[in-house]
Amino acid sequence: MKKSTRALLGLVLLDAIILIGAWYMVAQTKSGAWNSNDPAASIEMISTGAGALVGFSSVILLLAFVMHRRAGN
For residue range 1-31, what is the model confidence (pLDDT) as tens digits? 777 788 788 888 999 999 999 999 999 999 9
CA distance 17 to 5: 18
pLDDT surpasses 90 at 61: no
**Domain map (residue ranges) of the chain:** 3-70
| pLDDT value of residue 73 | 67
CA neighbours within 13 Å on the CB side: how many for 34? 13
Q: At residue 46, what is the residue type?
A: I
pTM of the model: 0.80
Structure confidence at residue 64 as a pLDDT band (50, 70, 90): confident
Nearest residue to 6 (alpha-carbon basis) of 69, 49, 51: 69
CA distance 4 to 69: 6
Beta strands in the chain, from DSSP E residues, in sequence order? none
